[in-house]
Chain A
Amino acid sequence: MSTPILRLEHVTKRFRGLVATNDVSFAVPEGSICSLIGPNGAGKSTIFNLVTGYLAPSEGHIFFGKTRIDGTPTTQLARAGIARCFQIAKPFADLSVRENVRIGALFGRDGARDIAAVTDDALALTGLSDLAGRPAGDMTVGYLRRLELARAIAARPVLLLADEPCAGLNATETEDIVTILRLVRDRGVSVLLVEHDMQAVMRVSDQIFVLDAGALIAAGPPEAIAGDPRVIAAYLGTEAVE
Chain B
Amino acid sequence: MSIVLLIVAAAVPFMVMPFYVRVGQLILLSAALGLAWTLLGGFAGYWSFGHAAFIGLGAFSAGLFETELMKGQPLLGFGLGLIVGGVVCALAAAVVAWPILRLRGIYFAVAMLGVSQVLAELTNNVDVFKGSMGLVLPRIAAFGLRPEALFYDVLLIATVVVGCIAFAIKNGRIGAGLMAIREDEDTARMLGVPTERYKIMMFILSAALTGALGVIYAHSLGYITTSSVYRTEFSLNMIVYNLLGGMGTLVGPFLGSAVMVILTQVVLGRLLSIHMFITGALLVLLVLAAPKGIIGLFKGGLFGGRAKG
Q: A86 at the A/B interface (Cβ < 8 Å)?
A: yes
Most A C-beta atoms less than 10 A away, residue of B186, B189, B190, B193 = B190
**Which one of A54, A83, A95, A108 contacts B186 once the chains associate, using CB atoms below 8 Å?**
A54
Known A92-B180, A102-B176; contact A107-B193, beta-carbon cutoff 8 A? yes
Q: A44 at the A/B interface (Cβ < 8 Å)?
A: no
Q: Are B193 and A75 in contact (CB under 8 A)?
A: yes
Interface size class for chain B? 10 to 19
Distance between Cα atoms of A7 and B47 in the complex (Å): 41
Q: A103 at the A/B interface (Cβ < 8 Å)?
A: yes
Chain A: how many interface residues by the 8 Å CB criterion?
27
**Which one of A93, A95, A108, A137 contacts B191 once the chains associate, using CB atoms below 8 Å?**
A108
Distance between Cα atoms of A79 and B188 in the complex (Å): 12
Q: Are B192 and A109 in contact (CB under 8 A)?
A: yes
Main secondary structure of the interface of B (DSSP, over half): helix
Distance between Cα atoms of A87 and B295 in the complex (Å): 35
Q: Are B184 and A90 in contact (CB under 8 A)?
A: yes
Q: Are B190 and A94 in contact (CB under 8 A)?
A: no
Q: Are A78 and B176 in contact (CB under 8 A)?
A: no
Q: Are A74 and B189 in contact (CB under 8 A)?
A: yes
Q: Are A151 and B184 in contact (CB under 8 A)?
A: no
Distance between Cα atoms of A93 and B309 in the complex (Å): 10
Q: A84 at the A/B interface (Cβ < 8 Å)?
A: yes
CB-nearest residue of chain A to B175: A106
Report chain A residues within 8 Å CB of B173: 106-107
Report chain A residues within 8 Å CB of B186: 54, 90
**Which one of A75, A93, A108, A151 contacts B195 once the chains associate, using CB atoms below 8 Å?**
A75
Report chain A residues within 8 Å CB of B192: 75, 78-79, 107-109, 155
Q: B194 at the A/B interface (Cβ < 8 Å)?
A: yes
* CB proximity of A62 to chain B, nearest CB, Å: 16
Report chain A residues within 8 Å CB of B187: 86, 90, 92
Distance between Cα atoms of A38 and B176 in the complex (Å): 37
Distance between Cα atoms of A86 and B191 in the complex (Å): 11
CB-nearest residue of chain B to A109: B192
**Which one of B176, B189, B194 contacts A103 once the chains associate, using CB atoms below 8 Å?**
B176
Contact bitstring B189-211, A, C-beta under 8 A = 1, else 0: 11111111000000000000000
In the A-B complex, the 6 residue pairs with the smallest Cβ-Cβ separation, listed nearest first, are A78-B192, A92-B183, A107-B192, A74-B189, A90-B187, A108-B192
Please list the residues of chain A having a beta carbon within 8 angstroms of any beta carbon in chain B.
52, 54, 73-75, 78-79, 83-84, 86, 90, 92-95, 99, 102-104, 106-109, 137-138, 151, 155
Q: Other than the known A78-B189, A103-B176, A103-B193, what 14 A-B pairs have Cβ atoms closer than 8 Å?
A: A54-B186, A75-B193, A75-B195, A78-B191, A83-B190, A90-B187, A92-B187, A95-B179, A95-B183, A104-B191, A107-B191, A108-B191, A138-B308, A155-B192
